[in-house]
């Protein structure tokens, strides 16, 4: 994981995300962000996920696994997408804004996880620590490390991840998947 963000950088990213969610719900233009207003760390290419919740329930979550633009811009883009483009939800409405809580996850670069048998995954994966990406050809799915809170059993975690990828829950037990892990630095309002 790159150097951790300081408190001011975290506050700036949460402010960017909040303003982007509000502008999206209110159908207003996004704030134009000046790179000079941000630290070198926030100007470095970064990958992020933005998660929106209401009363502890998921309201939207979108991110990227690949760092290809400055982190401050990536957070703004993911906030807009979480508020308006998560296919599981309708776009956020102005009436929901006061109840939405925003969480930002900054991702490390994914690293391939080498394993021999599906059973190896049960000991290699670290619940609560590892974000997991599974791939099979053109299909791919990921769970952030926070998902371990809801699915602490590794078998169940992998089964639900296979389901998310559009496969049967036991797909991981019978097929050699490409697996990568990553870590996150998460913070919220």
The C-alpha angle 80, 22, 40, rounded to 5 degrees, equals: 60
By residue count, the chain amounts to 189
pTM over 0.85: yes
Q: Write out pLDDT tens, residues 26-70.
A: 999 999 999 999 999 999 999 999 999 999 999 999 999 999 999
**Residue 26 pLDDT:** 97
Q: Write out pLDDT tens, residues 123-168.
A: 999 999 999 999 999 999 999 999 999 999 999 999 999 999 999 9
**Residue 3 pLDDT:** 83
Asked if 182 and 108 count as a contact pair (C-beta separation under 8 A), the reply is yes
Beta bridge pairs of residue 140: 135
Q: Does domain 111-184 have CATH number 3.30.230.30?
A: no
**Residue 2 pLDDT:** 65
Q: In the predicted model, what is the mean pLDDT of the chain?
A: 95
Asked if 176 and 5 count as a contact pair (C-beta separation under 8 A), the reply is no
| Higher pLDDT among residues 22 and 175, named by residue | 22
Alpha carbons 103 and 110: distance in angstroms, whole number: 20
- pLDDT above 60 for 1: no
The residue extents of the domains of the chain are 7-107, 111-184
Q: Does domain 7-107 have CATH number 3.40.600.10?
A: no
Q: Write out pLDDT tens, residues 84-123.
A: 999 999 999 999 999 999 999 999 999 999 999 999 999 9
Residue whose tokens read 């990568």? 180
């Amino acid at each position: 994981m790159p150097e951790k963000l300081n408190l001011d950088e975290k506050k700036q990213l949460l402010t960017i995300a909040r303003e982007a969610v509000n502008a999206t719900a209110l159908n207003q233009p996004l704030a134009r962000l000046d790179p000079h207003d941000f630290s070198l760390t926030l100007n470095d290419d970064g990958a992020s996920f933005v998660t929106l919740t209401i009363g502890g329930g998921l309201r939207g979550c979108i991110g990227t696994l690949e760092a290809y633009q400055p982190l401050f811009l990536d957070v703004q883009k993911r906030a807009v997408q979480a508020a308006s483009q998560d296919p599981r939800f309708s776009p956020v409405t102005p009436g929901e804004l006061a109840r939405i809580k925003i969480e930002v996850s900054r991702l490390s670069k994914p690293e391939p996880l080498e394993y021999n048998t599906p059973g190896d995954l049960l000991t290699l994966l670290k619940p609560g620590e590892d974000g997991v990406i599974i791939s099979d050809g053109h299909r791919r799915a990921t769970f952030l490390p926070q998902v371990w809170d809801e699915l602490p059993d590794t078998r169940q975690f992998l089964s639900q991840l296979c389901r998310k990828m559009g496969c049967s829950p036991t797909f991981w037990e019978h097929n050699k998947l490409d697996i990568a892990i990553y870590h996150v630095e998460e913070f919220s309002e």
